[in-house]
Structures are given as C-alpha cells and as structure tokens.
Amino acid sequence: MTYLFSTVTSPKIVYIPQGSVFKSISHLQSEGVNVHFIDAFILRLMGAPQKGWIDIKEEKMSRFEYLYQLTTAKAATREITLIPGETTVVFLQQIADQLLLDVNLLQKAYDKHALYKEGNFVPDTYSIPNDTDEEKLIVHLLAESDKKMRSWADEYHTPFDKDKWLQIVTKASVIQKEAASEEDMPFVSSVIDNRIQKGMRLQMDGSLNYGEYSHQKVTAKRIRTDTTPYNTYKIKGIPLYPVCNVSKEAIHAALNPAHTDYLYFVRGKNGEHIYSSYFSTHHKNIVNATK
C-alpha cells in the first residue's frame, strides 16, 4: 500500500504510444519518469491508458493518482496535416502559422536532426502537444516518420540503408510530383527507369517543384536558368535529393514500376497522362492535348 502513495515525478504533458500497457510504462521510463514494471499490472486493473499526448497537469503526485491520470487525463494536442507531395519548407511555414511557432527555429531544428535535406517526413495527420517547442516538435515528427518508413522498408523487404533508402525516396518524390493519380504512379515509375536505362534525361517538371517552388508552374525560363541538382532537364538520372515528402503509394510505385516501354507522357484534356514509346507519337499527343 505504501508503494501506491510513493511520489512519481513526470512532465505535465506526456506522450503515450500505441501498444500494450507494458510498452506505455517502458516509454515513460525512457522519458525519465520513475515508474516500474509492476506499475503496468496496477495500470491494467485501472483500465487502458490514454494514447497520444495527454495533460497530467502536475509534475509530482502519488503513484496511484499518476496511474489514474494516465487512464483519465484529457488530450493536450492540436492536429497538423502534411499532404503527400508537399515540401518541407512549405510544411514548416504551415506549422509555424498554425501553432504560432518560430519558422526559423523549426528550420534550425530540422537541419540539426533530419537525416536528409528533404523527404524525411511521412505525410499524415499528427497530434501535437499544446506546450511543445520547435525542437521537440521536429524531433517528434522525425521519430514518428522514421518508424513508419522503417515499417515500409520491412514490408517491401528492403534494407533501411541510409544511401539506398535516399535513392528510393528521391525516385518516389519525382513520381509523387508527376503522377496524375495513385494509379498513374507505377507508369511514371516505369518511364523514369526506361529513360535512365537509355541514358536519357528525365526532363520532368515535377523535379523543379522543390522547396519554395512547390506550387509554382515550371516555365521555359525556369528550366533554362535553374542550375540546381533538381533540374532533370540538365542532369541525368534522378536528383541528388528528394523533391518533396512522399506517400507509401509513391514508395510502392518506385519499388514496383509497371512493365512498359514508355518513354514519354503528356497530360491529356481529362487530366490523365497519355503515354507513348516514340517521340513522333508523343508529339502528336502534345498537339491533341492542346487543341
């Protein structure tokens, strides 16, 4: 009985991951909360703990009260959503505006903790604690995204190797920007592979929708003047870095291209792409699409 009235010291806002009660206790221990294995058994008698960010309100309380709070405390979060194909610089500005945070501090934390220059986040809706700061938020988003990407790699039997995964995400990012739909993605993937195999430049506008240019129309002047490694009209192969943050569907397409001999595509009047294997046919498709 004395044990139940011993003091627990904890942050006022705590994160409880999805999973078993034992996983919850283990996570709290890793965060420096003085809970123990036996608390999992006590917690199971009280009921399931809340999931996500919850407001405990007090930093010190009795063990019994603390465990009870884990099952009853209200969420202390707001939601932010990253859509597939969005670039990090735009996403960080959205976070700053929505959560009233400093975009420069967000970018500084991202540069410090991100594995790659771009493409580290998994598009999703995230629950964010109300009292978070810029660095804690970035670390949390990167950690959650890393777990999801590792699970994707496992699902596709692909080693989560830093360099290899970078190439996969980079290819997927071009697919994400170019494809007219999820169904279109494997065909864009096949064109990328076919053009690379023939030593052709990709010449895909989507690769120039990087960073702050995420939603800007790519013009002939932009193609001529852009000297970055993203300009696939000038470089061969895929860019050095991902163009944007990618969905699981784009990763799937990057790893599983359609079996075609297509080398060209143009967006038709209905918004869908028209594919072809020969430039003469491609030219006719362009003319028809602009009539």
Radius of gyration of the chain (CA): 24
Q: What is the pLDDT of residues 185-220, one digit of tens each?
A: 999 999 999 999 999 999 999 999 999 999 999 999
Q: Are 206 and 92 part of one and the same domain? A: no
Q: Are 275 and 167 part of one and the same domain? A: yes
**Which of 14, 38, 72 corresponds to the end of one domain?**
72
Q: Are 184 and 229 part of one and the same domain? A: yes
At 144, phi and psi to the nearest 5?
-65, -40
SS3 119: coil
Q: Which two tokens stand for residue 73?
A: 């405390």
Confidence check: pLDDT of 15 > 80: yes
Domain limits for position 43: 2-72
Q: Are 276 and 196 part of one and the same domain? A: yes
**Which of 13, 45, 72 corresponds to the end of one domain?**
72
Q: Are 56 and 128 part of one and the same domain? A: no
Q: What is the pLDDT of residues 102-126, one digit of tens each?
A: 999 999 999 999 999 999 999 999 9
Non-local (6+) Cβ contacts of 92 within 8 A are 103, 106, 107, 110
Domain total in the chain: 3
DSSP summary character for residue 36: -
- With 0.85 as the threshold, say if the pTM is over it: no
Q: Are 188 and 284 part of one and the same domain? A: yes
Q: Are 168 and 284 part of one and the same domain? A: yes
